[in-house]
Amino acid sequence: MKFTGTAAATLGRILLTSGPSTAVALAEHLGLTGAAVRKQLDSLIDAGLVEASERASYGPAALEGKRGRGRPSRVFALTARGRNEFGEHADSLALAAVKFMGATNGIESVKKFAQQISDEFVARHQDIATLESTEDRARALIDALNSDGFAATETPGLGDSIQICQHNCPMGDVATEFPEVCEAETRAFSELTGVHVTRLATIAKGSAICTTLVPHSRRESA
């Protein structure tokens, strides 16, 4: 069942880009009644594209759960199938091509391919590295990721650090088979931000999102 051009599809894309949300927050975002939103959410749950829980680990609903007392509202988030449905993914032929490349020319050819993709990303967004602060570079990187279809958002990290959350991975199926893709991407993030970033979680390894920690530069705080 493909949700295209419907209210359910709009909800799915909001959950993709914003992360887990309550029905109330989604209704306010869309200007709809809570009943109308819950009806669409029920259809997405029935289709296996959305799941409901009592608590969110990230996204706007994670902050909502810390406010007030009483029983928290249910939180809705995309499943792996939901991310595939509403995300922007490269043609699955890409995975077949990379597998063929590895089988024919060895894993080194896959590593070179992954590095080339990252080098091209750095080349397209090289102006990021010229920005003055780590914070500015991290936020510019988020904008660059969004322009490439990664549905990236910012969440606070420990201290002055920033966590970049990628809710979609256009090459998720390739990265699942070949972690070299994620490794090369992480190196590109370090190059553009000018600091050693740490990849905390990836969609390729089964997490709901890819999370990268961008620490505050010690030189800037000196």
pLDDT tens digits for range 153-192? 898 777 778 999 998 887 888 888 899 999 999 999 999 9
Classify domain 7-86 by CATH architecture: Orthogonal Bundle (1.10)
Would you identify the CATH topology of the domain 93-221?
A: H-NOX domain (3.90.1520)
Q: Comparing 7-86 with 93-221, is the CATH topology the same?
A: no
pTM to 2 decimal places: 0.67
Domain locations in the chain?
Answer: 7-86, 93-221
pLDDT band at 34 (very low <50, low <70, confident <90, very high): confident
Rounded to 5, what percent of the chain is helix, strand, coil? 55, 15, 30
Of 26-30, 61-65, 96-100, 168-172, give the lowest mean pLDDT range.
Answer: 61-65
Sign of CA dihedral 202, 206, 83, 157: negative
> In the structure, how many helices (H) and strands (E) does the chain have?
11, 7
